[in-house]
Amino acid sequence: MKEAVLYEKLDGSVRCNLCARRCVIREGQSGFCRVRVNRDGRLYTLVYGLIDGMAADPIEKKPLFHFAPGSTAFSISTSSCNFRCQFCLNYHSSQRKTPVGQRFTPEQLVALAQEYGCDGISYTYTEPTIFMEIAHDTAELASRAGMYNTFVTNGYMTEEAIEYISPYLNAATVDFKGSANPEFYKKYMAVPDVDPIFDALRELKRRGVFIEITNLVVPKIGDSEEDTRHLVEWIVENLGERTPVHLTAFAPMYKMTHLPRTSAATLQRHIQVAKEAGLIFVYSGNVAGLEYENTYCPQCGFKAVERYSVFLKSNNLAPDGHCPKCGADLNIAGVQWMGKGSRRFWF
């Protein structure tokens, strides 16, 4: 065990200040995430360096379409989560009651990322907030080595947590489900309040973290076009109309195998709703082959980046990340071209 960060001692208990639940944990007990425990009046993390998932992924898989396109991220995760999503794709890891994995130091993780030729590290698969300590220490070393760091997160983190990680966090994908409908979050995810996610997004933006948004469209129970419109209107007003947003298809999983897959037609309707609400860069997810996988210049219509699913097919960006035809700013971050066929990433 390693002593946790961001907690306060109470009378016989401790309060964890990493995620928005702010669990008050009694002696010998764990928080909602199951991996932060009170031992003798101190809060400890059970998953420091206990890695249960790792892979070299295209950054587009996160999905980050507007950050360091074409780069490779070394993805890592630990067991457990602070949500109880009944449709979780990674439930075998996120819903574990006892964490498992292999121990790695931050130095070893950065070295592995470099060994696999990765350009950065992504803290993903499960919720990185609950393994914040190892994520922070690894991200600090990765940053010194010239690598980027990204979170794939449910956004249910405190302002203190964002302040702690933001010096080394370059980009974040914040995942919504059911268009942030509060009742959907309560019933199917055991999340009492969605407001902290929006607070976290404002804080991430304020601290200069590049943001992309995903929203899982769940048939029958979480596919309200009105809810999608409300979510998009908030994004446009608070994060900006050029924020990349991915509307992703649901696949039957975990406790929700009785529901159908999200159809391409349903996804396309939600994409149209998002565009009508003012978003410029709207993408489809989990339905390969749709035209909404590509990045088109909103000014001249040029196909600046072509993708198939989460794989980059062609990158036609100008050296500054703008449209090569008309020079429009496409809100591409993290890449700078250095002559034909050569590039480097900046963060």
Residue with tokens 């990349």: 244
Residues 222, 177: contact at Cβ < 8 Å?
yes
Instruction: Tell me the two tokens of residue 59.
Output: 């950054």
Burial 15-42 (b: 16+ CB within 10 A, else e): ebbbbbbebebeeeebbbbbbbbbeeee
CA 209 from centroid of its chain's CA atoms: 12
Which residues make Cβ contacts (< 8 Å) with residue 273, sequence separation at least 6? 225, 228, 229, 232
pLDDT of residue 291: 87
pLDDT of residue 338: 34
In angstroms, the CA 298 to CA 191 distance is 37
Residue 346 has pLDDT above 70, yes or no: no
% of the chain exceeding 70 in pLDDT: 96
- pTM for the full predicted model: 0.95
Looking at residue 192, its amino acid is P
pLDDT of residue 334: 80
Average pLDDT, the chain: 94
Q: What number is the average pLDDT over the span 99-121?
A: 96
Ramachandran angles phi, psi of 155, nearest 5°: 80, 5
Q: What number is the average pLDDT over the span 112-122?
A: 95
Cross-strand pairs, 218: 222
Residue 137 has pLDDT above 60, yes or no: yes
Task: Look at the chain and count its residues.
Answer: 347
In angstroms, the CA 109 to CA 51 distance is 10
Return the domain boundaries, the chain. 2-45, 50-302
Which is nearest to 292 in space by CA: 318, 280, 300?
A: 280
Q: How confident is the model at residue 335 (pLDDT cuts 50, 70, 90)?
A: low
Q: Return the minimum-mean-pLDDT range out of 164-168, 297-301, 312-316.
A: 312-316
In angstroms, the CA 180 to CA 193 distance is 10
Ramachandran angles phi, psi of 16, nearest 5°: -80, 130
Which is nearest to 136 in space by CA: 116, 176, 106, 177?
A: 106
pLDDT of residue 12: 87
Residue 116 has pLDDT above 50, yes or no: yes
pLDDT of residue 158: 98
Residue 170 has pLDDT above 80, yes or no: yes
Q: How many CB atoms lie within 10 A of CB 289?
A: 9
User: pLDDT tens across 189-234, in order?
Assistant: 999 999 999 999 999 999 999 999 999 999 999 999 999 999 999 9
Give the pairing type, strands 72-77 and 102-103: unpaired
Provide Rg for the chain, Cα atoms: 20
* CATH classification for the domain delimited by 50-302, as one of 3.30.470.20, 3.40.50.300, 3.40.50.150, 3.20.20.70: 3.20.20.70
Tell me how far apart the terminal alpha carbons of the chain are, to the nearest angstrom.
Answer: 32
User: pLDDT tens across 223-270, in order?
Assistant: 999 999 999 999 999 999 999 999 999 999 999 999 999 999 999 999
Q: What number is the average pLDDT over the span 11-38?
A: 97
Q: How confident is the model at residue 321 (pLDDT cuts 50, 70, 90)?
A: confident
Residue 319 has pLDDT above 90, yes or no: no
